[in-house]
Structure 1
């Protein structure tokens, strides 16, 4: 019986992915095989030796000690794209709110409490000119980051009649296939900023993207542009954005990451981190995370890991060995020699690497003895071994 520990409230649709005849699921399990988590902070936890994988029901993994997990041989999954539609729809709301004077107009209307019907009509008619906006059709949207969310946003904007420019120096082949031909490709970030009436950010929060939007990049933007940040707070330098707003360089800043400096400004629309806050997104993220745990725990297959290489092999025999090692020469050959010395035939195998890590799946004809497994585990540079 495999054991899964949950943190936070996990959508029922996700929990249903674990076959109950093979899995025990609880928020109280002390020594789990897998963890399914949303936003709980795991960084200070000590993980048991039984723990094989952590699945984050969401895209960001800043609440998981990824580097430590790698050293301990724990695979960390996230759920890229599971919340893409939810974020896309919120980006659309941000585009409209920053264009049409909707927010200011609603606040004005809410302040008319106690006004008679006869007075209200003329007041609204006289004031509405102050909330005049602009239409999205024909405007240019710059999409920074063309992954699952960015590609969804680009497609949406095209359907709205906008021109779309995209920039992503690390775009994957799958993401490139998702993009329609109408999306113009910017050669660099400055080119995108120069040409965009609206800029929306959809890059991960990593060292390379910290303060990506700063005084220098803001200077490259078109005067009067709108900036939308539904990615991560650290991508934008808030002080520099405020300076750009004060100077009129930016017309609006729309963000899902409020900070005290952004409150009570007419040119800032701040939301309380609503990007993935829909029933559908929470269910999608939980389903993806749960399925990843099942596929890894039962078969050793890895997809959407943030610290291990993607490695999926259809099961061909009843015995499978999975191991990870430092990505150096001769480790795999040593393991294969160990198996050959014991007359264990390898029917199918797959080897993948990612940065300093290599991961291997070997389907073998006969069940390996404990001594064989111990020999593999003790092979130099091997740090993770499972027999399934």
Structure 2
């Protein structure tokens, strides 16, 4: 069967699809060529996308032959799930394939905030030797607040606790005896406001929905500690970006680590890029060699399963 891949997919996943007898057309930037992409859709039995491809009503109407859509990742805000369901097109996500990589990104952000080694390196190369300025602090005994307590938060908590951190979490959909609380030892907070007040680092792990859009805003920044950092490796739009800029510039909080933005790629002259203590990365939290391979292989196997009339455990609609 014919499969179209519209964004970056690791080569081993593509080879796996070919090995299973499928014809694969791959253009890693096709998502940015909307008209061309739409013109190709009627030809394909399956489509594989990432986060840039807008799977909306227009897209689905043209994908009349499509039997399954694979999502190379777990975020689904770019996909009209209800529209796909009405057309009986299963959406397959790469369930937990990049969870470890995202968890390690969060740890890297906290370590960078507490011990900015790249800045120290740059300073030494300018023939300085300012040991007092680069005196950092320990993560041990610091408090990490997790907003959202799913699989990634679970893995972040395990690593943070190994560093001696106190971990608190807020998630109205997690019950007191769920494993992330009972087995990981996260202290569950009843109110988001209490988590914000208590945490030295705040890491977001929720999907982008109408309810979570701009979840972190001016009102919430005013509750945080002055030395707190916000880490967003989940979805752009969870943080009100202008409110963040103002909060950092006013020294309400220390800074932020943003791997995702409301508009990607970053816009020219974005205020975010003008604030030194707001650290930016190009949506790479889940992009390690290992995660890329796992994601590509999982989607290849699950798309093939659906094309052969099987049922996928990774179906989300």
Task: Indicate the TM-score class for this superposition, using the shorter chain for normalisation.
Answer: 0.7 to 0.9
Determine which of 294, 303, 326 is the counterpart of 2:304: 294
Normalised to the residue count of structure 1, the TM-score between the two structures is 0.69
Change (3 A) 1:132 1:35: same
Output the CA distance in 1 between the equivalents of 2:90 and 2:106: 32
2:240 matches 1:237:
yes
Partner of 1:247: 250
- Correspondence 1:263 to 2:247: no
Partner residue of 1:170 out of 170, 173, 191: 173
More strand by share: 1
Indicate if the aligned counterparts of 1:204 and 1:232 stay in contact, CA closer than 8 A: yes
Higher relative contact order (CA 8 A, sep 6+): 2
Deviations 1:210-269 (A, max 9, x none): 000011222222232111111112000112222222232211211113651111423221
Maintained 8 Å contact 1:76/1:305 = yes
Inter-CA distance 107–270: structure 2 relative to 1 (3 Å threshold) = farther
Cα-to-partner distance string for 1:351-387 (whole Å, 9 max, x where unaligned) = xxxxxxxxxxxxxxxxxxxxxxxxxxxxxxxxxxxxx
2:287 is aligned with 1:273 = no
State the partner residue of 1:12: 11
Instruction: From the superposition, tell whether residues 22 and 266 of structure 1 become closer, same or farther in structure 2 (CA, over 3 Å).
Output: closer
* 1:275 Cα offset (Å): 1.0
Equivalent of 2:45, from 25, 33, 40?
33
Classify 1:156/1:17 alpha carbon distance in 2 versus 1 (closer, same or farther; 3 Å): same
**Distance in 2, Cα, partners of 1:107 & 1:233:** 30
Q: Which 5+ residue runs of structure 2 have no aligned equivalent?
A: 27-39
For the structure 1 residues 185 and 21, does the alpha-carbon distance in structure 2 shift closer, same or farther, using more than 3 Å as the test? closer
Distance 2:49 2:299 in 1: 9
Q: Secondary structure at the match of 2:83?
A: helix
Does structure 2 conserve the Cα–Cα contact (< 8 Å) formed by 1:141 and 1:197? yes
Distance of 1:15 and 1:163 partners within structure 2: 42
TM-score for both structures, normalised by structure 2: 0.83
Give the conservation status (yes or no) of the 8 Å contact 1:35–1:53.
Answer: yes
Give the secondary-structure state (helix, strand or coil) at the position aligned to 1:131.
coil
Q: Which residue of 2 aligns with 1:213?
A: 216
Give how far 1:134 is off: 1.0
Q: What is the aligned partner in structure 1 of residue 98 from structure 2? A: 83
Q: Does the aligned pair in 2 maintain the 1:101–1:132 contact within 8 Å?
A: no
> 1:39 and 1:241 mapped to 2: Cα distance?
24
Aligned residue number for residue 292 of structure 2: 282
Inter-CA distance 18–271: structure 2 relative to 1 (3 Å threshold): closer
- Give the Cα–Cα distance (whole angstroms) in 1 for the partners of residues 252 and 75 of structure 2: 30
Residue among 110, 120, 129 paired with 1:105: 120
- Find the counterpart in structure 2 of residue 349 from structure 1: none
Instruction: Let me know the Cα RMSD of the aligned residues.
Output: 2.5
**Matches of 1:29 and 1:217 in 2, distance apart?**
43
How much has 1:23 moved relative to structure 2? 3.0
Number of matched residues? 293
Is residue 149–residue 180 contact of structure 2 (8 Å, CA) maintained in 1?
Answer: no
Contact persistence 2:306–2:312 (CA under 8 A): yes
Choose 1 or 2 for highest CA Rg. 1
How many Å apart are 1:178 and its aligned residue?
4.7
Structure 1 stretches lacking a partner, 5+ long: 113-119, 309-388
Mapped pair 1:187 → 2:190: yes
Which runs of structure 2 are paired with 1:1-388 in the superposition (5 Å)?
Answer: 2-18=1-17, 20=19, 22-27=21-26, 31-43=43-55, 44-45=58-59, 46-110=61-125, 112=126, 120=127, 123-124=128-129, 127-171=130-174, 176-178=178-180, 180-257=183-260, 259=266, 260-306=270-316, 308=317
